[in-house]
Amino acid sequence: EGLPSKKAKRVPLLEPFWAAGFSFSRGHFVVNVPYDQHLPMIFQGEEISIGIRGFTYGYDFYAPHFSVCFHMYATGDNTAKRKKVPLFWNHSEQYAGADTKSMARLNGIIRTHTSKVKPESWNHIEEEKYGLGTVRTPEQFFSIFGIDTEKETAEDHLCRFVGQPMHKMFSEHLRRDNMGIDYSKITYRYKDPDSKGTV
């Protein structure tokens, strides 16, 4: 994130990722992309699950062109206060193994680690309800934003592209009915500009 440009239009900016702590939408989003009740003990993964599933249903995500809120982490003077706050994993021993099974399901649904997460290794219950849409594919998302799910790597410095550059480039492909970006017309693939051999 950088400072907003004084020349840029003050409009919400297209973003690739969904944020649980700052999410507003019409009600049909949560109807089409509900929280998966079969993912107990998932914390790291909730946002990518909802984000990828939303992307496949054709939803686009936007953020204000400047920061309007922040998250206070447990640092400095706040550490002692924050350490007293109960966390959802405080009783994780009561759910031993649930996080591993949930992560296998999450990765299976959004099609990450396909060489490691075999279909028979995860729970497919209500997969249609908590699964993917048909407008776009997870593979489109990963390819466009420089994410290799098998090697578990991502191109560095994506933040330099996200915001004004992404918004300007991708908004040209807004569907005529204004129902989202037509990602089938986007041939762009993010590559870290600082990597050797990239432009």
As a whole-number percent, the residues of the chain with pLDDT over 90 amount to 65
**45-72 pLDDT tens trace:** 999 999 999 999 999 999 988 888 777 6
> What confidence score (pLDDT) does residue 90 get?
83
For the entire predicted model, the pTM comes to 0.87
Answer whether residue 134 shows pLDDT above 60: yes
Flag whether pLDDT at 8 surpasses 70. Answer: no
pLDDT tens track for 137-195:
999 999 999 999 999 999 999 999 998 899 999 999 999 998 899 999 999 999 999 98
pLDDT attached to residue 183:
95
- Per-residue HEC secondary structure of the chain comes to CCCCCCCCCCCCEEECCCCCCCCCCCHHHHHHCCCCCCCCCCCCCHHHHHHHHHHHCCCCEEECCCCCCCCCCCCHHHHHHHHCCCCHHHHHHHHCCHHHHHHHHHHHHHCCCCCCCCHHHCCCCCCCCCCCCCCCCHHHHHHHCCEECCCCEECCCHHHCCCHHHHHHHHCCECCCCCCECHHHCCCCCCCCCCCCCC
